[in-house]
Amino acid sequence: MTLALTGGYSAVQFRYPAELSLTVRKIANFCIGNLICAQYRFMDGHYLTVAHWEGDTIMKKINIEANTYVYPNPVTLVGTEVEGRANFMALGWVSRVNAKPPLIGIGVNRVHYTAKGIQETKTFSINYPTADMVEVVDYCGIVSGKKVDKSDVFEFFYGYLKTAPMITECSLCMECKLIDTVELPTNYFFIGEIVASYTEEKYLTDGKPDIKKMNPLLLTMPDNSYWTVGEFAGKAWSIGKKLKK
């Protein structure tokens, strides 16, 4: 039996022999000595009492909704050329999708001006802004290149690809050539091969990008909030070795 229970009506799943999915309502809380009880009534007339000793901990998982976002998203600026003009759009739906060759994927809504530029030039850039760029990053996410010329918002440069503008102020810039496009109901998922990456010495430690020095932005949705990176927690593929038997 699997429960996700809150006050009022909420959806739960539990298994009768017929494996019914029902709706439940919490109707009472009461104590028997140190035993804490909660009683629930199902729409078919059945009752369920959940009890635990005072001081015990009960994990309550609540089904919020299927349309839940990744926590957190990276905050990037995607650079394109559209109709011969540099354009930049804020984007959080970014993921590395292959090791060798180095492929990266971005989810861009079909209606965005940026999507048109990527389809035209078969190139794009991914730029990681620093936290102190938050205002201009947000601006690039709320105004469309269809209506506003964003080519003068940043100082930018080009690498091997002459149609993938990269932002000088950003801590890390990747220039990508389009490899594949997956057409989804609302978005294009553009897969690009990273042909080169650019940074500065001040963002490196032992020759590698240092996340604390880069001071990147993170995004949470649907509260639509920007965050910065917290504290170091442990070395990946290392700290868990102590649990090996």
Residue 65 lies in a domain: no
Give the model confidence (pLDDT) of 101-114 as tens digits: 999 999 999 999 99
Give the model confidence (pLDDT) of 157-196 as tens digits: 999 999 999 999 999 999 999 999 999 999 999 999 999 9
Given this model, what pLDDT does residue 245 score?
84
Given this model, what pLDDT does residue 11 score?
39
The contacts of residue 157 (CB under 8 Å, 6+ apart) are: 165, 166, 168
**170 neighbors 217 (Cβ within 8 angstroms):** no
Give the model confidence (pLDDT) of 9-44 as tens digits: 333 444 434 444 445 566 677 677 677 777 777 666
The residue segments making up the domain with residue 113 are: 73-223
Residue 182 lies in a domain: yes
Nearest to 171 by CA among 205, 200, 132, 151: 200
Nearest to 141 by CA among 182, 205, 177, 91: 91
Residues of the chain with pLDDT > 70, as a percent, come to 79
Q: Residues 100, 191: one domain? A: yes
| Total Cβ atoms within 10 A of residue 179 | 16
Here the CATH number for the domain that contains residue 123 is: 2.30.110.10
Residue 59 lies in a domain: no
Q: Residues 132, 14: one domain? A: no
Domain tally for the chain?
Answer: 2
